[in-house]
Amino acid sequence: MSVPIEETVFKRKRFVAEAMEKFGFVRTGEGFVYEADILGGDFHAVVTVTEKGCVSGRVIDNMNEEEYAPLRMDSFNGGYVNSVRHAYEEFLGGVAEGCCKEVVFASDQANRVAELILYRYSVSPDFPWGQSQYAGDGTFRHPENNKWFALIMNIRWNSLLKNGSEETVDIVNLKIDPKQAAELAKRPGVFPAYHMNKKSWITVLLNETLSDGEVMNLVDRSFNLTK
């Protein structure tokens, strides 16, 4: 599969160690492991969570005791392999429900920046796109005029780098003085705005390339330019 099933299921979730142990996870030297049979015992699913919360999984065919490779191949799309995928997704969904708490955004830095915006400006994100593919994208607005000063999104790397990558990254779009566009574009982690006017907006990565303080300095500029 282009995007790992585990990444899709746990994208906006964080594991809680106490809940994991109650659920049946076994602590190992590198994190936690949970396993169970699925699809009537025909397959065995194993999910591993590191101490940092990184998730990986395996689905083993109990008939030959080998990992079921078609699970992650886009070219395999028949009824049987899809039934295995569905069973594995249900297995992971149960793990998520029993062991995780919900977070607003996918990345830790995006969630920290949202908390800093709330602390500094008393503004929480709203999510205006309902149940569309953009449902998790949050806008931060001035209470007085309803104008955006920040938009946090989760997009494919390919949208920025044009490298064909299906992996995703959290970003924030921010307003800038057009005179500063060229200077800011030279900074690591800063790109011409994704899906907005590139003369007066920029896209900033929320993947720890910039510190929270550096991101908030750019948020402050955007806030002042849009108020």
50 in Cβ contact with 30 (< 8 Å): yes
In order of their start, the domains of the chain are 5-102 (no CATH), 108-226 (3.90.1150.30)
Q: From CA 94, how far away is CA 45, in angstroms rounded?
A: 12
Q: What is the pLDDT along the chain (227 residues), one digit of tens a residue?
A: 467 899 889 989 999 999 999 999 999 988 999 999 999 999 999 999 999 889 999 999 999 999 999 999 988 889 999 999 999 999 999 999 999 999 999 999 999 999 999 999 999 999 998 777 778 899 999 999 999 999 999 999 988 888 877 889 999 999 999 999 888 988 999 999 888 888 999 999 999 999 999 999 999 999 999 98
- The pTM for the full model equals 0.80
> What pLDDT is attached to residue 1?
47
Q: From CA 133, how far away is CA 44, in angstroms rounded?
A: 32
Query: What DSSP character marks residue 126?
Result: B
Alpha carbon distances (Å) from 79 to 84, 85, 88: 9, 10, 14
Q: From CA 6, how far away is CA 85, in angstroms rounded?
A: 11
Query: What DSSP character marks residue 24?
Result: T
Q: From CA 4, how far away is CA 18, in angstroms rounded?
A: 26
> Cα dihedral sign for 88, 92, 93, 98?
positive
> What pLDDT is attached to residue 152?
97
